[in-house]
Chains A and B, each alone.
Chain A
Amino acid sequence: MRILVEPRRQPSRRLWTLTPILALVLTMAIATALFAALGYDAADSFMAFFVSPLTDLTGLTELAVKGAPLLMIAAGLAMAFRAGVSNIGAEGQLIMGAVAGGGVALAFWEQSGPWILPLMALAGIGGGMAWAAIPAFLRVRFAVSEILTSLMLTYVADLFLNLLVYGPWRDPDGMNFPQSRLFNDDETLGILVDGTRLHTGTLVALVLALAVWVVMTRSLLGFRIRTVGASAAAARYAGFGNDRVIWFTLLASGGLAGLAGLFEVAGPIGQIIPQITPGYGFTAIIVAFLGRLHPLGIVPAALVVALSYIGGENAQVLVGLPKAVTGVVQGLLLFILLASDFLVRYRLRLARRAGAAA
């Protein structure tokens, strides 16, 4: 007996949309089994990780706070992935957006006025775009894989951020801690619900995801993006300017990541510190695929993945689970999703060794 892998003639559309949910349920089950195998009470850790963050106002608003950057970045990445452009470096683009936008805040720290925040946002978008422009140029001009360049530039961005925070941008009154000055009130995002960290950036993220949805499903631009990703030859035949689509999707995803970075420093953090992101730029890749690269699917996907961040912290505090479980659960989710995608497109069949006798 052996196992044959065969492509399915007609992969089921319904399964295709249901597998993310299936993957989520399986992830919860396996994670809980894992907690139990580590010697923790299964019920307690399940509750702490997956349920309790959803039971109070703080938990729910934190879900939105953590989901917003994931949503914004994943919406941009979904556009790029649809075009067949593998931007893996959103983390670096996020950092450069925070640096550029935060730099504006530091430059005007003594000023006030409603113009500062929009200026910071523009600078944040510009920073992310500039960082994504490097892989775009290399890909279009020299056919260098954007997977490698965008990923490697992430580490450059991280070191550049450290250089600034440990050097020129260190708060002169900050007891020598590697932190910038605190942003002033005109440089921070407004709070939507008193007593929580829910900021206006979450609304912007939602609006931007909807905008991406309109672009991708209704506009000529979105059609171009989908065509380039589906068939480069057909796109060239239609005259869709494949290089322009590569530029656009990299700049758009970089810009959205940059804005997400700016919202972090101008929102929950309020200053520039060495650690402005717990890996949002990478985790957003999971969000994009979990949401089926569909701007509307990405909204629930972002909340699910945000839950893994909050649940991880909760489980550390309440049950004493190690910090690494957050990464483990996120990894499990992606792994199971990809595995079930495989089974949607292929089926396994047991076959007798003899093959077919004549």
Chain B
Amino acid sequence: MRAMSPIPSIKPAPRLEARGITKRFGALAANEAIDFAVEPGEIHALLGENGAGKSTLVKILYGLLQADEGEMLWNGRETRIASPRAARALGIGMVFQHFSLFEAMSVLENVALGLDRPGPGLAERVRDVSRTYSLPLDPDRMVSTLSIGERQRIEIVRCLLQSPRLLILDEPTSVLTPQEADALFGTLRLLAADGCAILYISHKLDEIRALCDRATILRGGKVVGRCVPAETPVRQMAQMMIGSGLRDAVAKTTRPAGAVRLKVQGLDLPPATLHGTALRDIGFELRAGEILGIAGVAGNGQGELQQALSGERPVRQADAVMIDAVPAGDRDAAWRRRRGLCCVPEERNGHAAVPEFSLIDNAFLTAHDRADLVSRGLVRRDRARALTRRIIADCDVRAAGPDAAAATLSGGNLQKFILGRELAQDPAVLVVAQPTWGVDTNAAAAIHQALVGLAEAGGAVVVISQDLDELLMLSDRIAVLQGGTLSATLPTDGLSSEHLGLLMGGAGAAAAP
């Protein structure tokens, strides 16, 4: 038997190879000597906590930032990606976690604006792509009327229209049902089979195991590991990603249910916008110590339900919403908060917080009443500052300080701050929407822990989420919001995500076990 030839087998060059990529911001090295390669037809995972340097790396790959050191090879040839336009010209497509869409324009107009050469027959091509890849999208709808999940589809379709050779996706499944996520995975596998390289950024380790061929793990701006996810235990990947001190997910314990704290009955709400979802005859009861999960696909009335419960959109019938048996349906958010109903809406910037305000002002925003920050109409600034410091310390918020603007915080840190602010008000009822969207594993675990802690202390929690794993883990009972109506609540024990997925898809009868 002859020895193998020392000449390596002729293998196609990687689609994209990064060598020694380093990027510094002042003293901080966001990326340090990063090497990795994505092959054609490969789905490659990029794993890492918030602040691990994933975003910086991805921005360099897409031409939004320039590396200080290192080189990049595209199909084996050295290249410089000077701008996103240059990246697109090479064949790199990117689906961002934060969308860049014009709210006052239609889906089609937004797609056209994102393309360097829109060309004729675009509406038809959009319909084709969205049909082929199971991404339902009406080209004529206004973006302002779309949910976050639907908005994400625009971004994906926009990329696919350009037949990318490398597609980068940042946390793409956080707003999809399991069935939708499966459909997306189907899409991605099809694309990969066509020879497209895919760089997939996610915190969901199960998902990465199911989908990705290889993974590169970043921590503190450096590559700390590489693995084949299908052959690596989840816990080991998490350990690499987080280093020491991995938090265990909250274990569900049974809590004794107390008195009814929130009662909703016959709640109707017209849609806020032309294409919004009307709420019809919503009803449920929530007892002290309970966590109720509201599942559903984006755009089925989640935003409306959150606003109806928080008091941002009061209704006529006072008894549609009862807080501790006091009618509150016709009261505004400030009144309901005084009665102990606090809320964390889905959008952090521009809804739960004012981006250009300092953290002190953002703490004051909702906490001023229950945390006693106003005296005779004047702001008690010392108390507001002290409260802000406490929230930052207690919730491990990474921020430059209490005077930092909310906009300077990362999504996960701002979310921890906002949740900390609401918890600091000792709520009787807490309504949270998408609590861990775009938040890293450790922060998500901390947030889950905090919600369970509140329930254990006798609070009642409503979690509106599209993340079924989260709901199954946290909730005592789950109801599904579909087309503006709420199903009966089902005890979580014995519920499967498949069963819920069918309810979310509107197949209520077919889903009966």
Which residues of A line the B interface, CB within 8 A? 218-221, 223, 226-227, 230-231, 233-234, 236-241, 355-358
Contact = CB atoms under 8 A, between A and B. Distances in A.
Contacts of A218: 378-379
Contacts of B353: 234
A231 B79 contact: no
Given A227-B354, A233-B350, A238 B79 contact: no
A237 B366 contact: yes
Contacts of A219: 377-379
Contact of A356 (B83, B310, B366): B83
B333 A231 contact: no
Contact of B86 (A230, A241, A356): A356
A220 B366 CA distance: 12
Nearest to B350: A231
A220 B368 contact: yes
Contacts of B354: 227, 230-231, 234
A163 to B, nearest CB: 42
Given A230-B354, A355-B83, A355-B86, A237 B368 contact: no
Query: Chain B CB within 10 Å — which of A220, A221, A226, A240 has the most?
Result: A220
Contacts of A220: 368, 374, 377-379
Interface stretch (B357-365, B387-395, B457-465): B357-365
Given A355-B83, A358-B74, 18 more contacts: A218-B378, A220-B368, A223-B368, A230-B356, A231-B350, A231-B355, A237-B312, A237-B343, A237-B345, A238-B365, A239-B312, A239-B333, A355-B85, A355-B86, A356-B63, A356-B81, A356-B86, A357-B82
Contacts of A226: 357
Contacts of B368: 220, 223
Contacts of B336: 239
A239 B86 contact: no
Given A227-B354, A358-B79, A238 B334 contact: yes
A237 B81 CA distance: 42
A358 B86 contact: yes
B351 interface: yes
A239 B82 CA distance: 46
B186 to A, nearest CB: 31
B221 interface: no
B379 A239 contact: no
A226 B364 CA distance: 13
Contacts of A236: 312, 333
A229 to B, nearest CB: 10
B23 interface: no
A239 B332 contact: yes
Contacts of A237: 310, 312, 333, 343, 345, 351-352, 366
B219 interface: no
Interface of B: 63, 74, 79-83, 85-86, 89-90, 310-312, 332-337, 343, 345, 347, 350-357, 361, 364-366, 368, 374, 377-379
Nearest to B313: A236
A355 B63 CA distance: 12
A358 B337 contact: no
Contact of A239 (B335, B374, B377): B335
A358 B73 CA distance: 11
B104 to A, nearest CB: 15
A154 B337 CA distance: 42
Contacts of A239: 311-312, 332-337
Contacts of A234: 350-354, 365
Contacts of B332: 239, 241
20 contacts: A219-B378, A220-B374, A220-B378, A227-B357, A231-B354, A233-B312, A234-B351, A236-B333, A237-B351, A238-B334, A239-B334, A239-B336, A239-B337, A356-B80, A356-B81, A356-B82, A356-B85, A357-B86, A358-B86, A358-B90
B276 to A, nearest CB: 14
A79 to B, nearest CB: 15
Nearest to B335: A239
A208 B328 CA distance: 39
A277 to B, nearest CB: 33
Contact of A223 (B79, B83, B86, B364): B364
A358 to B, nearest CB: 6
B347 A233 contact: yes
A218 B375 CA distance: 11
A241 B357 CA distance: 19
B351 to A, nearest CB: 5
Contact of A231 (B334, B351, B374): B351
A357 B90 CA distance: 10
B79 A221 contact: no
A240 B311 CA distance: 11
The 8 closest A-B pairs by CB, nearest first: A239-B334, A356-B82, A239-B333, A356-B86, A233-B351, A239-B332, A236-B312, A356-B83
A219 B356 CA distance: 19
Contacts of B82: 355-357
A358 B75 CA distance: 12
B133 to A, nearest CB: 27
Contacts of B379: 218-220, 223
Contacts of B333: 236-239
